Amino acid sequence: MFNLKKFFQLLLIIFLMAAAPKDLFAGSIKGKLQERLNEESNIQYEPYYMDSNASRQQRAEMPMTNAVAARNRVDQSAQVMNMVAEELIAPNDPYQPVLSPFAIYNMNYTAELDENVVTVKGKVIFEIFKKEGWTQLPIVNNSVGLIDVRVNKGKSFVVNQNGQYYLMIDKPGRYNLDVEYLIKAKREREFGPGNFIVDVMPAPISQFEFIIPEQNVQVFIEPAIKVELSKEADKTIAWAVMPNTSTISVRWTKALTREEIVPIKLEPKAYVTTSTNSSVGGGVISSQSILNYSILQSEISSFRVALAEDVSVLDVRCNDLRDWKIVKKDGMQVLEVFLNFGIKGNVQLTITYERAIGEGSQIVQMPWVRALDVERENGFYGVAASTNVELAVKSSDKVTEIDTKQLPAEIWRSSANPILLAFKYLNHPFDINIEVTRHEELPVLIAAIDSADHVTLYTNEGKILTKVTYLVRNNVKQFLRINLPKDAVIWSAFVSGEPVKPAKDKSGHIMIPLKKSQQSGQNLTQVPVQIVYLDKSPKMGMFGKLKIQLPKVDVPINQFNWSIFMPDEYSYFNFDGDIKKVENVYRRQRRSNIPIVGEYLARGVQGRMRSSADQIGDQFSPMQQRMEIQREFEDISTNVAKGILPIQIDVPQEGKLLQFSKLLVVEGESPWMSASYTAVIEKAKKPIKVIIWGLAVLLSFLVIKKHGKKKKEKVN
């Protein structure tokens, strides 16, 4: 039977559904949004943007009619807005402090997911320090749907500038801010994994809470310090404490079912590559082995390494090394290394050791190290010579000889000498026997004389006064040994401008103490050594022959110069000796670019090196060049007079100047010269000159007389 009452009830339901507004059945997000928008709010949207290029006057005159006059919103006056605009576009004050005009103390954000929309609510505590004018406080970027911004006191409004929402506050003080906005979450599918990024106000300490209306989910929050998950009837809540950050990244996915995993303890596996460098010489083999461990599966807190019984371990190095000890076992030594804690991954162990082999030529077995308790070990072996010994491979077993360039770089870095032999091996044991041949060592120069300049005065009475200046480059030589002529007596000795007391050894050699040259780059500086001695010879007669001999030194001389002042009343000829006579040593040296004594002595006394800059004296004028021969040895006295040498014995420079030179005077050579002399020629020069002048006058008289006679005959 037709029920009329039920029919009218059904008809009423259909009518109500047709007449009801559409938003009655809309989703909860829309309802919440409408509800929030209808509530009282103090959010203020401004019609201008501070990044515009409009002029200040245009901003000040901008009408306020474009402002959204929403219901119950705080409407600011045009005067206040113009003041804010002028302040924001005013040029920066150079004296304005760089400190921030505000500080954010704490923030607490909550994000709740509804389908693919996230509602973010934040509570922020901040303080404004600026006493006058408006302060801009960034809230959130303008890509969000801003719902509400509330401040607990004072005047405030929100502006949109440069892609950011800013809160404007005009007075200092401590404030509480409530902000709410919407962002969109990304989800792969419905009820699938998703993620979103929240733009927040940074604070020293902050809390973040994410609510998702799903169960059995895993939530990841970055950069969270701590995340805690709690589950309720129909939702999951993730709470996190955050560091100072302006963005929070949230992602979630379905939680996987955790199965109970039974832990299995795995034995460690170690693989080793050994690089060994050995230097042979001086009666010892010095070795260093670098063991590069690769530890897998579990940790290792100690190592065991085997060495030959006759080697001495000098040093063991490793990161986090606690201790090490040597245990002798089965004809070998076992090095036990202990670490502070277990290590997994790559570890480097360095062992320094040596083996005594004695002097002389012999065949030696190279020392070795072997890592124990490892799965596999291979390595490289380099051999170098630390002294002048010759190395050759006598025999080898289970090694491959390779080019030295194939050795690892760590072997080259640990070797102070060039690597001569190189090997590679794949496992132990291996054997390398090297033939060591020791050759006789030859002596080398430890000192040299760059130049030796001699100035000698020879008198009629046979006295020979000589001053010698040596420019010495000395490495480790203690004395300069000088063998003077038989009857010579040394008068003075100077080294580097300082007087020294010479000594005499058992063989009669004069010993001058030397100073070590200073290092200048790869060269040694010069040390000047000066001696003055007196020798004797027979008195000179009307004619005869003389011989002068210079001292011997135990150091080779590169450049030898000798200037002799002889008496003027004699003529000299028939020169002989192991040196070469030159007419003008100054000009000869200029042609060969060899500096003379005077140019280098002052520099040498100060210990300077010779260089191309010392040729600056070559630029003298021609007149100065003509005078240089007379001033050559005066330079020595001039420099001495300035205080470089406190006591000086000068050699008088009077008489006929004879000059000699020689290149390379070797150790033990004594340069000498001899000459014949006569006084007849010099004494006959004056009467010969008178006769010549008389003959010249007589000849002139006869010519004049003859010329007058011819003229008279012509007149007649």
DSSP letters of 173-225? EEEEEEEEEEEEPEESSTTS-EEEEEE----SEEEEEEEES-SSEEEEEET-S
Average pLDDT over residues 81-85: 47
Question: How far, in Å, CA of 237 to CA of 112, rounded?
Answer: 9
Token digits of residue 62 = 């901008």
The number of beta carbons lying within 10 Å of the beta carbon of residue 525 is 20
Q: Would you say residue 274 has pLDDT above 70?
A: yes
Query: What backbone torsions phi and psi does residue 11 show, to the nearest 5 degrees?
Result: -65, -35
Q: Which residue has the higher pLDDT, 444 or 120?
A: 120
Beta pairing class for 164-169 and 135-141? antiparallel
Cβ count near 479 (within 10 Å): 16
> CA-CA distance, 231 to 211, in Å (whole number)?
10
Burial class (CB in 10 A: 0-12, 13-18, 19+), 623: exposed
pLDDT tens-digit series, residues 244-268:
888 999 998 887 666 655 677 788 8
Q: Can you spell out the DSSP letters for 88-138?
A: HHSPPPTTS-SS-SEEEEEEEEEEEEETTEEEEEEEEEEEE---SS-EEEE
For residue 413, report the phi and psi dihedrals to the nearest 5 degrees: -65, -35
Same domain, 292 and 398: yes
Q: Are residues 216 and 310 in the same domain?
A: no
Give me the number of domains the chain comprises.
4
- Has residue 618 been placed in a domain? no
Strand stretches in 213-360, DSSP E: 217-222, 226-231, 236-242, 247-254, 269-281, 284-308, 312-318, 321-329, 332-356
388-406 pLDDT, tens per residue? 888 889 999 999 999 989 9
pLDDT on residue 336: 94
Same domain, 139 and 163: yes
* Structural domain containing residue 428: 269-438
Q: How is residue 395 written in tokens?
A: 């025999």
Residues 134 and 45 placed together within one structural domain of the fold: yes
Kindly give, in sequence order, each residue whose CB lies less than 8 Å from that of residue 519, ignoring residues fewer than 6 positions away: 525
Does the pLDDT of residue 97 top 90, yes or no? no
Same domain, 163 and 285: no
CB within 8 A of 279, min separation 6: which ones?
285, 286, 287, 383, 384, 385, 386, 415, 416, 417
Contact of 646 with 545, CB cutoff 8 Å:
no
Residue 7 falls within a domain, yes or no?
Answer: no
Question: What is the mean predicted confidence (pLDDT) over 559-563?
Answer: 92
CA distance 388 to 382: 17
Of 36-50, 186-200, 606-620, the poorest mean pLDDT is in 606-620
CATH number at residue 667: 2.60.40.1730
What is the tens place of the pLDDT at every residue in 322-331? 999 999 888 8
Whether residue 192 is found in the same domain as residue 85? yes
Residue 418: pLDDT band (50, 70, 90) is confident
Same domain, 196 and 53: yes
Asked if residue 287 has pLDDT above 90, the reply is yes
**What's the angle, vertex CA 62, arms to CA 61 and CA 67, rounded to 5?**
145
Distance CA 54, CA 64 (A): 16
Q: What is the pLDDT of residue 293?
A: 94
Task: Sheet containing 156-161: give its strands across.
Answer: 135-141, 164-169, 156-161
Give the CATH number of the domain where residue 84 resides.
Answer: 2.60.40
Task: Say whether pTM exceeds 0.75.
Answer: no
Residue 260 included in any domain: no
Strands ordered across the beta sheet of 571-577: 543-549, 672-678, 571-577
Min mean pLDDT across 346-360, 504-518, 565-579, 590-604 is at 590-604
Give the residue-averaged pLDDT of 471-476. 89
The answer to whether 275 and 413 are in contact (CB under 8 A) is no
Does residue 369 sit in the same domain as residue 507?
A: no
Instruction: Give how far the C-alpha of residue 6 lies from the chain's centroid of Cα atoms, to the nearest Å.
Output: 99
Q: For residue range 532-559, what is the model confidence (pLDDT) as tens digits?
A: 999 998 888 888 888 898 999 999 999 9
Note whether 694 and 665 are same-domain residues.
no
Write down the mean pLDDT value for the chain.
Answer: 77
Domain C-terminal end among 254, 288, 322: 254
Considering the domain boundaries, does residue 294 fall inside one? yes
pLDDT at 334: 93
Report the pLDDT value the prediction gives residue 371, as an integer from 0 to 100. Answer: 93
336 and 238, same domain (yes or no): no
- Whether residue 80 is predicted with pLDDT greater than 60 in this model: the reply is no
Condensed to tens digits (0 to 9), the pLDDT of residues 337-370 reads 999 988 899 999 999 999 998 888 888 999 999 9
Kindly state whether residue 125 falls inside one of the protein's structural domains. Answer: yes
457 found inside a domain: yes
Q: Is the pLDDT of residue 223 over 60?
A: yes
Tell which of 438, 471, 490 closes a domain.
438
Check whether 680 has a pLDDT greater than 70. Answer: yes
Q: Which of 254, 277, 309 is the last residue of a domain?
A: 254
Instruction: Return the exposure string of 662-701: e unless at least 16 CB atoms fall within 10 Å of the residue's CB, then b.
Output: beebeeebebebebebbbeeeeeeeeeeeeeeeeeeeeee
Query: Please, which residues have CB within 8 angstroms of residue 685's CB and are 6 or more apart in sequence?
Result: none
Answer yes or no: do 340 and 370 share one domain: yes
pLDDT of residue 436 exceeding 80, the answer is: yes
Proportion of the chain above pLDDT 90, given as a percent: 29
- pLDDT number for residue 682: 64
Does 20 fall in a domain?
Answer: no
Measured distance CA(250)–CA(234) in Å, rounded = 20
pLDDT for the residue numbered 5: 62
Q: Is the pLDDT of residue 627 over 80?
A: no
What three-state secondary structure class fits 522?
coil
> With 80 as the cut, is the pLDDT of residue 611 above it?
no
- Does 395 reside within a domain? yes
| 716 and 668 part of one domain | no
The confidence band for 82, taking pLDDT boundaries of 50, 70 and 90, is: very low
